[in-house]
Structure 1
Amino acid sequence: MNCNLERTGQDCGGMSEAQVLGDAIGAGLAARALEPNGGEVDSGHTHESACLNCGTPLVGSHCHNCGQTAHVHRTLGAFFHDLLHGVFHFEGKIWHTLPMLIARPGKLTREYIDGRRARYVSPLALFLFSVFIMFAVIQQTAGDLNLGKDGNVAINVGVSKGSAEIEKSLKAARTKRAEVEAKGGDTDDLDTDIEQQERALAAMRRMGGEKLSSTGFSILDEVIDETQSNPKLVLYKMQSHAYKYSWALVPISVPFLWLLFPFSRRFHLYDHTVFVTYSLSFMTLLFAAGMIAGAFGADPVAGLLALVPPIHMYKQLRGTYGTSRLGGLVRTAALLVFAMSALAIYLVSIAAEASTG
């Protein structure tokens, strides 16, 4: 996602993340087609009697001394399988983890904390995968982030689109008024409509260019000044920094969750970290689903998805910490406030980094 501002989004690194993923999967399938048996017969690495890493005699499918798998496959198919596994942890575990994350988040979190982890993707791996999915969806469905021939960033933002639509409607209304007036008709309703649209257009233009007053906080004032002087560049850099520093949401959020169980001897910071990471993974995937629904014109579906976070938080809190119904409801209300606070801190930090970086 980081790229030179003198290139287009499709030129960043030569191709988009989706293209990289598609090519990797395609190459893996092609390798499997070329070597349907994985090349095991000719590889010479399927019947080792000793670990190739440390030389320990093998007993079972993995070395009991260093943990390396007993059989090392040197094939194209194995390479691309390792690629997908290493980058996305994309294996059978994902199909156990995602349904649990959606339907029984509390049990998933509790089981991982208690050490029953073999069936599940780790919280951090799932979070990184979710962030990748979300930003890939944003890149494809959100306002286009392109570069003009002069190398300047061009972003289709709501203010410019709204102004253009109002100007078009205003022009049509004025034309219609001239026609009605020429025929000697009553133009009072049209005059009122034109006046309202002119006010709306003036307000829209102020939103896009009026200088905001000082907030009293130097960091925020610097962000505002930089954003207003070059908003398109700052928005571009915010998108890039948000992807790079997405992990920072975890340490920002954990202290807020600790406040729900202060000085508890039963629950520790590790428990809260697992909770936060799984919760952020779900919210990230939910946001991506909402973006996809909106892109396909299913705005009611996207609106309904906005009701899901408090329900999911409630279920995860009760399943993870064993709270009562009333305790779960109270803590869910507090957690919603804490989540918005953590997100605000994160966004301000990203904006500050983008405006100074």
Structure 2
Amino acid sequence: MAGGIEAAGDLVTGGLIARAIEPEAGEHGGEGQAHCLNCGAQVISRHCHDCGQSVRVHRTLTAFWHDFTHSILHFEGKIWRTLPLLFFRPGQLTRRYVHGERARFVSPLALFLFSVFLMFATFSWVGMPIGSGPAGTNSVRLDKAALSAELAKTKSKLASLEKVGAPKVEIARAREDARNLEAAVKLAAGASLSDLELVKGDIDLGIPELDAALKHAVENPALLLYKMQSNAYKFSWALIPISIPFVWLLFAFRRQFKPYDHAIFVTYSLSFMSLFLVLLSVLGRLGPLAAWRVPLIFLAPPAHMFFQLRGAYQIGLFAAFWRTMALLIIAFFVLIVFGIILLALGVTG
């Protein structure tokens, strides 16, 4: 129950953040007054040309909840024009947005933020795309009892450090560990941690700070796992700048395509992949339909890449095919780089 509430909260947060980035443009507006209720200037459109306030002012609960759902889901207009193209004509969507049709569609960044929040909320609520049960009940699990014991030990260590006046760096690290463990205990479902082969012996890379961080991570695998999951949620946006240079390399000798074009391509592509993982997670809870996940995993991503490349860059079949193969390799490499970054953040954070 708590996981579902947290997932719903994440989804609402993602929608509101996406809406803050995505202004209300190209959407239907209501009837207004002759004069602005804020500054009194004469109104000639949906917004006051003097102070910028919307002419649509309401004082009903129905209108309040309408605005709430609209802010989260872009309920009117753009989202319903964007999603069908994203799934079935991604190249057309990318090309039209790059060439100026901005008000008709949800912007790539807003859609990416919302889809990422929706993805992690779905993972918390119904489970991962491949596996059984919610995220906390998959093959790698958090041991609530072990985490609680580690939390008690960390708090005791923190109290001792504060009592003897230890260096501020050590106290700060102990406090951070305590906060992370408290969050991990709340997320733990009570199942046992899967068997992990821990590195034995001393770690000596010649850098005392790094050696200490690595030893701490090895001694606390559940904490490291939690940090990596949390950082994946926080730093998913990093996939965009990591990917853009590789896509640019695919068109390095085609000067008509700008880095901006590649950024739009990458962001819409990642939005689709996030929503695709949401679909796989939902299918995993639908009994007989769960069997469709494996063929979809192997067919949908390359097909989407192919049609997005062909439509967005207006290239031929062979050019789109070899770039799709290269893009699949690039995607795998990008995920490895992202995983290394998450591991580094988990060890040193």
Give the TM-score normalised by structure 2.
0.69
* CA 1:235–1:296: 2 relative to 1, 3 Å: farther
User: Following TM superposition, by how much is the alpha carbon of 1:263 offset from its aligned partner in structure 2, in angstroms?
Assistant: 4.9
- Equivalent residue runs for 1:260-275 within 5 Å: 260-275=250-265
- Match for residue 324 of structure 2? 332
Cα deviation code 1:73-125 (max 9, x no counterpart)? 23333333333333443433212211111100000111111111333111111
- What does 1:218-297 align with in structure 2 at a 5 Å threshold? 225-297=215-287
What CA deviation, in whole Å up to 9, does each residue of 1:163-203 have, x standing for no partner?
xxxxxxxxxxxxxxxxxxxxxxxxxxxxxxxxxxxxxxxxx
Name the counterpart of 1:186: none
Q: Which moved more, 1:136-145 or 1:344-353?
A: 136-145
Cα distance in 2, alignment partners of residues 343 and 264 from structure 1? 26
Q: Distance in 2 between matches of 1:17 and 1:128?
A: 15
SS of the counterpart of 1:272?
helix
Alignment partner of 1:143 out of 118, 136, 146? 136
The verdict on how the C-alpha distance between 1:54 and 1:272 changes in structure 2, with shifts beyond 3 A counting, is: farther
1:51–1:63: 8 Å Cα contact kept in structure 2? Answer: yes
- 1:284-339 Cα shifts (integer Å, max 9, x gaps): 11112222323445442110121211110010000000111111011111111111
Alignment correspondent of 2:160: none
Cα pair 1:106 1:318 within 8 Å, conserved: yes
Residue number in structure 1 paired with 2:309 = 317
| Alignment partners' CA distance in 2, 1:299 and 1:46 | 47
After TM superposition, the structure 1 = structure 2 runs for residues 13-28 of structure 1, keeping only pairs within 5 Å, are 15-18=5-8
Correspondence 1:209 to 2:202:
no
In the other structure, the counterpart of 1:59 is: 44
SS in 1 for 2:230: helix
**Residue from 116, 141, 158 that aligns with 1:131:** 116
SS of equivalent to 1:345: helix
Q: Which residue of 1 aligns with 2:33?
A: 48
Whole-angstrom CA distance in 2 between matches of 1:270 and 1:96: 22
Larger Rg: 1
Q: Is the 8 A contact 2:7 2:122 kept in 1?
A: no
Letter in 1 for 2:41: T
Q: CA deviation at 1:212?
A: 10
Of residues 286-295 and 223-232 in structure 1, the stretch that sits farther from structure 2 once superposed is: 223-232
Q: 1:119 aligns with which of 76, 88, 104?
A: 104
Partner-residue secondary structure (3-state), 2:197 = helix
Structure 1: stretches of 5+ with no match in the other structure: 1-8, 23-44, 162-204
Q: Amino acid of the residue matched to residue 107 of structure 1?
A: Q
Once residues 158 and 106 of structure 1 are traced to their aligned partners in structure 2, the CA distance between those partners, rounded to angstroms, is: 44
CA contact (8 A) 1:89 1:125 kept: no
SS of equivalent to 1:74: coil
> CA offset at residue 251 of structure 1?
1.2
For normalisation by structure 1, the TM-score amounts to 0.67
Who is 2:163 aligned against? none
Which of these residues, 293, 303, 309, is aligned with residue 302 of structure 1? 293
Letter in 1 for 2:107: S
Gaps of 5+ in 2: 13-29, 128-134, 152-180
Q: Secondary structure at the match of 1:208?
A: coil
Shift of 1:281: 0.4
CA distance in 2, matches of 1:315, 1:50: 49
User: What's the counterpart of residue 345 of structure 1?
Assistant: 337
Helix, strand or coil: the match of 2:35?
A: coil
Q: 1:248 to 1:110 in 2, by over 3 A?
A: same
Give distance in 1, aligned partners of 2:206 and 2:76: 48
Q: What is the DSSP-based 3-state SS (H/G/I as helix, E as strand, rest coil) of the residue aligned with 2:136?
A: coil
Judged with a 3 Å threshold, the aligned counterparts in structure 2 of structure 1 residues 21 and 276 are, in CA distance, closer, same or farther, namely closer
CA distance in 2, matches of 1:302, 1:212: 42
Q: CA RMSD in A?
A: 3.6
Structure 1 SS opposite 2:284: helix
Instruction: Tell me which of 71, 83, 94 is aligned to 1:98.
Output: 83
1:86 to 71, 94, 98: 71
